[in-house]
């Protein structure tokens, strides 16, 4: 119940922010950016494997939002709309780059969650490095489902609509993706 109320509150807040944005309120745009940009950057980064490109993708999506906002009539949450837009642009980027080799992994590109202590961050760094490499090896569609779900909490129904497939297939892609990651990490993820 609390989660439902929080979700409704977030949607109402988004509607108010979009209304203000339509009237040119830059503070509203800043608030939307602060609310969603980190998750969108994580989504884009894990799909394109490049920090600079991830930031470019997020910027492009917000620029498109600004241009679209006078005509925008959301049929779902703003978060899902932005996540889908990021996934579409990341996919376009992936297509363009698909003949190139993946960029070498950069140690400094990711950080452990803020809740970890310094020792744990050091301890997790190697595992996160391996996990990131494993994510890069996932088939794109599985990777997309996993990242949309994990980083933006999109519903499987929304992910299925984005991938133009059934909910069943989206669920399967998710489960296969996690199973493959588990398998590639050879049981190193703590239980």
Query: How far is 185 from 179, CA to CA, in rounded Å?
Result: 10
Rounded least distance, CB 108 to another protein, Å: 10
d(CA 32, CA 69): 13
The site that binds another protein (CB under 8 A) totals a number of residues, namely 75
Select 6 or 111, whichever has its Cβ closest to another protein: 111
Contact residue for another protein among 10, 11, 20, 37 (CB under 8 A):
37
CA-wise closest residue to 39 among 18, 10, 4? 10
Q: Which stretch binds another protein (CB under 8 A): 7-15, 77-85, 161-169?
A: 161-169
From the list 136, 175, 157, the residue with the least C-alpha distance to 48 is 136
Alpha-carbon torsion angle 97, 98, 99, 105, nearest 10: 80
Binding to another protein, residues 39-68 (CB under 8 A)? 41-42, 44-46, 51, 54-55, 58-59, 62-63, 66-67
Among 17, 78, 86, 181, binds another protein (CB under 8 A): 181
151 sits near another protein (criterion: CB under 8 A): yes
Q: Give the 3-state secondary structure of residue 97.
A: helix
In whole angstroms, the minimum distance from the beta carbon of 80 to another protein comes to 17
Q: Which is nearer to another protein, 5 or 113 (CB)?
A: 113
What 3-state DSSP class applies to 161? Answer: helix
Binding to another protein (CB under 8 A) within 116-145 occurs at 116, 124, 127-128, 131-132, 135-137, 139-142
Does 161 bind another protein (CB under 8 A)? Our answer is no
Among 35, 76, 109, 155, binds another protein (CB under 8 A): 109
With vertex at residue 173, the alpha carbon angle to CA 170 and CA 174, rounded to the nearest 5 degrees, is: 90
Interacting residues with another protein between 69 and 108 (CB under 8 A): 70, 91, 94-95, 98-102
**Residue 79: closest CA among 146, 148, 23, 25:** 148
How far is residue 83 CA from its own chain's centroid?
6
* Residue 6 CA, distance from chain mean position: 20
User: Cβ closer to another protein: 12 or 105?
Assistant: 105
């Amino acid at each position: 119940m609390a989660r439902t109320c929080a979700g409704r509150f977030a949607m109402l807040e988004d509607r108010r922010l979009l209304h203000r944005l339509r009237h040119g309120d830059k503070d509203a745009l800043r608030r939307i950016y602060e609310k969603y940009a980190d998750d969108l950057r994580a989504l884009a980064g894990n799909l394109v494997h490049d920090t600079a490109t991830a930031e470019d993708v997020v910027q492009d999506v917000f620029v498109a939002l600004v241009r679209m906002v006078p005509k925008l009539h959301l049929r779902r949450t703003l978060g899902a709309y932005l996540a889908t837009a990021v996934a579409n642009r990341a996919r376009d980027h992936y297509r363009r780059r698909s003949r190139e080799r993946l960029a070498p992994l950069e140690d400094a590109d990711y950080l452990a969650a803020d809740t970890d202590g310094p020792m744990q961050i050091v301890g997790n760094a190697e595992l996160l490095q391996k996990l990131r490499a494993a994510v890069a090896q996932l088939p794109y569609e599985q990777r997309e489902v996993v990242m949309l779900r994990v980083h933006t909490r999109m519903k499987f129904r929304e992910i299925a609509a984005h991938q133009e497939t059934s909910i069943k297939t989206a669920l399967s892609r998710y489960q296969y993706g996690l199973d493959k990651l588990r398998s590639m990490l050879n049981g190193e993820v703590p239980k």
